[in-house]
Amino acid sequence: MYTYTLPLPYAVSFTDHLQTSTFHAELTLATQLRATVEQTVRSPQGVHIENIRVIQAVTEYLPVLAGVYNSLLMDTVVERHELVFPWRSALGHNAKYTLRGIVPELCAMHMLLGMALANEAAAAVEALGLYELDTALDTATRRQNDERLKVAADQLCRAAGVFDYVATELLPKWESDVPRPPELMRDVATALVRLSMADAHRLAVRKLQSPALALATDTLTPGPPLPAGHPSPALLAKLHLHTASLYEQAASLVRTHEARTPLPPGAPDAEASTSRQPVHKLKTTLQHMRPAPTRAHKVDASVLRYAAHEAQWHRALAHKWLGIDAGEQSKQTGVGLAHLQAAREQLHAILPKGIASGESKPRGPLWEQRRAAKFHGDLGLWWMSVEAASVARWLDVYRRLNDTVSFQRVPPLAELQYASEGRAALVVKPFEPPTPRFGPASGDVLDASQCVGLGERTGSSRPYAGAGAYY
């Protein structure tokens, strides 16, 4: 699962930048709560950040921040100096940004909340280990761990809801063309929605397979026929296909952002510098005449690598279960071989050579292998090697069956018919914005789209005395 480097807010004093005749204590409280968020995220070097404390600190701060926002819109709080919020980016290589206005602060603080929720889920799953393969665990403990997986998946759906709120509700109200962190670009925020939902579906598949894995003693799948009570291979295939589709969408959105992100100011245009033909000069001139997109850093490459790798991993497992479903349920051995061959090729593309070639096959009981792998810090690689061995086993069985009994044609992958997007098991949990701690009632507050930056009125401001009484 992907773990974020949390964005870091730097100190800001609301009382130094804002003035009011009513909410002095509330502005002081906002400054204190924001400082608490900073202290919680800024852990000493080598000390693990407690994501649950970050979630609690941000949750306490957001209602007060919403109160400041509403009060600025209604002029019960006004600016003494321009309100600016320094932040260190989460996905922009730790670059520091100065966000000008209350809306950017709302965006960044909600993004911090979503990332902390996702990190908390990842930490909870990591603490479980591969409990499914621990033969010493009793049934009650296994069920408790299954429930913890479900809670972590729900938390990822909540994180996706927060990211979606930022992408669809907050970012459209921030129209200023100023440098901003990449995570506060709509393409990237939407990519994080897909990434969180993909990780949640990954946990849903794991929970579904947990009882069957607990019974397996030698391999991940015991081979034909599937044991009684094993999850439907068709369902597993559909879930893996949907998970892969979500990861692919996330990767595509990140690439879209990368393509739109302009070169840093003063950077030479490679195409223009290598060619002096008039057509290239004209093209460069026209590009400079276009409205400049909002400037942002490139996204940390680990996000794209993770999404692309997981997409290929789940696409391979989907073909594995599509092949098993064709062979076991429909008795279509040829189709099963085609899917299993596709699974083997895709797994080999992401596995190290030793494992992909079969030189490093796992030996002995799974639980002993798991303990050895954990000791050497190579648990993920071990799990991939087990899946590769499982695909090889099913492929060998079906090949021998087809060569001696079925004699069916093995079609090319392009001829196979299946739903490439699969089936969803979870949905985004919508985020409910907090009720403002103070300030005007929500019904009296102007819509943020009527305001620019810190609440400067546009032409469609609230009604005034005598409005419409023209002579």
- Give the SS3 label for residue 451: strand
229 φ/ψ sector (left φ>0, alpha ψ -120 to 50, else beta): left
**Strand order across the beta sheet in which 96-100 lies:** 8-9, 84-88, 96-100
Per domain, the residue ranges of the chain are 1-185+437-461, 216-259+297-430
Q: Contact, 148 vs 124, CB < 8 A?
A: yes
Radius of gyration of the chain (CA): 27
CA distance 87 to 206: 37
Q: Minimal CA–CA distance to 459: which of 469, 468, 467, 451? A: 451
CATH number of the structural domain 216-259+297-430: 1.25.40.280
pLDDT at res. 398: 94
Q: With residue 457 as reference, give the H or E element that holds it.
A: strand 456-457
pLDDT at res. 217: 55
CA distance 134 to 396: 28
pLDDT at res. 45: 56
Q: Contact, 240 vs 205, CB < 8 A?
A: yes
CA distance 394 to 337: 9
Domains 1-185+437-461 and 216-259+297-430 agree in fold: yes
CA distance 231 to 51: 34
CA distance between the termini of the chain: 67
Q: Residue 238 is encoded by which pair of tokens?
A: 């559909």
Q: Residue 296 is encoded by which pair of tokens?
A: 């942002």
Q: Minimal CA–CA distance to 398: which of 355, 318, 344, 317? A: 344
Averaged over successive runs of 10 residues, the pLDDT of the chain (471 residues) comes to 93 92 92 95 74 96 95 90 92 90 96 97 90 83 94 97 97 84 95 97 94 67 74 95 96 91 46 41 48 65 93 95 92 94 92 57 47 49 81 92 92 86 92 88 44 37 39 30
Sign of the torsion formed by the C-alpha atoms of 324, 326, 330 and 333: negative
What CATH class has 1-185+437-461?
Answer: mainly alpha
pLDDT at res. 355: 57
Spacing of C-alpha 402 from chain mean position: 42
The long-range contacts involving 163-169, CB below 8 angstroms and separated by at least 24 positions, are 163/111, 163/114, 163/189, 163/190, 163/192, 163/193, 163/196, 164/190, 164/193, 164/428, 164/430, 164/431, 165/110, 165/430, 165/431, 165/433, 166/107, 166/110, 166/111, 166/114, 167/193, 169/433
Q: Contact, 9 vs 41, CB < 8 A?
A: yes
pTM of the model: 0.83
CA distance 36 to 1: 28
Q: DSSP state, 5?
A: P
CA distance 293 to 177: 7
- Give the SS3 label for residue 183: helix
Q: Which amino acid is at 177?
A: D
CA distance 176 to 178: 6
CA distance 329 to 318: 16
- What are the phi and psi torsion angles at 31 (to 5°)? -65, -40
Q: Residue 184 is encoded by which pair of tokens?
A: 């506060």
pLDDT at res. 351: 82
pLDDT at res. 352: 73
Tell me the C-alpha to C-alpha distance, in Å, between residue 167 and each of 161, 237, 303, 321, 356: 10, 30, 18, 35, 40
CA distance 169 to 163: 10
Q: Contact, 246 vs 426, CB < 8 A?
A: no
